[in-house]
Amino acid sequence: MAERRYLLLWYKLVRHCRTLTQFGWELFVQAGPGGQHGTIGNGRISVPEFVWKIVVAIPSGGDLLGSADDARVIAVRMRNRETKDILDWRDCQTTIGALEDELGFRFLRALDGSPHQIRLKRKSDAIEPPL
């Protein structure tokens, strides 16, 4: 990513996710690149315009379909450009639906046809670990 500061943002997000697991949440995580900012290596390697991550957290022992009402969603989209306005991973939050629109992907296919699918795709929680 463009700056070392972004590595710190990712680290803080990963640390937050680890804390959630210590409080009994199970995590389903997907991540990847998006867009193209340029190339390196004589044009052989694409540099992404942004990177994204989706974390769906459910209570331990549950399954996504059965625990969808209690599920929490963290969706982030971090630009791969130098910027000084991003101070925390929460500043990069988006929704699963917005990422699907931009990337052309479909997430949460296990919930296809479920009323939970629309709700989860529209939300993004800056969840703090429950006590």
Segments making up each domain of the chain, as ranges: 4-122
Q: Is 54 exposed, middle or buried (0-12, 13-18, 19+ CB in 10 A)?
A: buried
Does the pTM of the predicted model rise above 0.95? no
Using CA atoms of 38, 39, 42, 44 in order, give the dihedral in degrees to the nearest 10: -140
Beta-bridge partner residues of 76: 53, 93
pLDDT given at position 68 = 67
Of 20-24, 43-47, 52-56, 81-85, least confident by mean pLDDT is: 81-85
**CATH number for the domain running over 4-122:** 3.40.570.10
